[in-house]
Structure 1
């Protein structure tokens, strides 16, 4: 479960991907404060419990560090950054029935572009389990050797 490193100054454009999702009535947006309870509840209902805490943390500054995928006014996916430690992407997730449509890719790219626009040159994708190939292919991320458990080593959940 290594962390991965990605160059933010060399990201692919995702305007075509976003347009294709809009044609399916799926929209990616930065979450606003009014979205907080819906996002925190969504994450708590569909993903690991500790991600609920991280989604809550995403609203500790403005604009938030959360992006959401919306269909029919319902959250179907999310991506967070700077909620575990600074300069970290994740966690992120998409409801199972919506996977394979490019939503995860769009959330990843929107989030990484936002990080770049905030002045980051690189980002860490934290605690990557099964998605190593996805991140490598999508944004050229590379595994960081000996990076697990890294900043997670002192989590109460791991002890």
Structure 2
């Protein structure tokens, strides 16, 4: 799967999307250290064991580089940055029940904004699945010759 590059100085305005989520009672925020086990367990239940490992790395950073979307104290989605490599986005996921609400795009934008706030000019989305989503959401472009990229020689589960 190919990697993609995001120009962090050309990110779209996120305020309308954030307000839309807020109006639905959805909170988008950086996870807290004391929530590590809760977020890791949720990711393990809904996604991959490898993603649990990456989430735990996000919680080892200061500040924490995992963002979550919640409603009524229930996790709906998550996104991490700088787990696999510096400047990298992912893993990320939204629960089946919350897909289509804009949470995935909001988490993508918030984490890209966090990379920019950290001093990066570009963000990297590694091993992309939904190429068209990232192109449309943040203007990501494919990085030539980036397959398999950092995800070569992965140990099996």
Please, what TM-score do these two structures have when normalized by structure 2? Answer: 0.97
Q: Which piece of structure 1 moves more, 8-17 or 119-128?
A: 8-17
Deviating beyond 4 angstroms after TM superposition, the runs of 4 or more aligned structure 1 residues are: none
RMSD between superposed Cα atoms in Å: 1.1
Following superposition, the deviation at residue 27 of structure 1 comes to 0.8
Matches of 1:154 and 1:123 in 2, distance apart? 23
Deviation by residue 1:26-68 (Cα, 9 ceiling, x = unmatched): 1100011012111100101100110000001101121101000
Structure 2 unaligned segments of length 5 or more: list them. Answer: none
The residue aligned with 1:102 is 102
1:54 aligns with 2:54: yes
Please, what TM-score do these two structures have when normalized by structure 1? Answer: 0.95
Matches of 2:57 and 2:44 in 1, distance apart? 13
Structure 1 unaligned segments of length 5 or more: list them. Answer: none
The residue aligned with 1:144 is 143
Matches of 1:47 and 1:61 in 2, distance apart? 22
Matches of 1:31 and 1:121 in 2, distance apart? 24
Matches of 1:17 and 1:135 in 2, distance apart? 16
The residue aligned with 2:156 is 157
Following superposition, the deviation at residue 151 of structure 1 comes to 0.9
- Contact 1:79 1:91 survives alignment (8 Å): yes
Pairwise mapping of residues 18-29 of structure 1 onto structure 2 (< 5 A)? 18-29=18-29
Matches of 2:46 and 2:154 in 1, distance apart? 21
- Contact 1:32 1:63 survives alignment (8 Å): no
Change (3 A) 1:148 1:157: farther
The residue aligned with 1:126 is 126
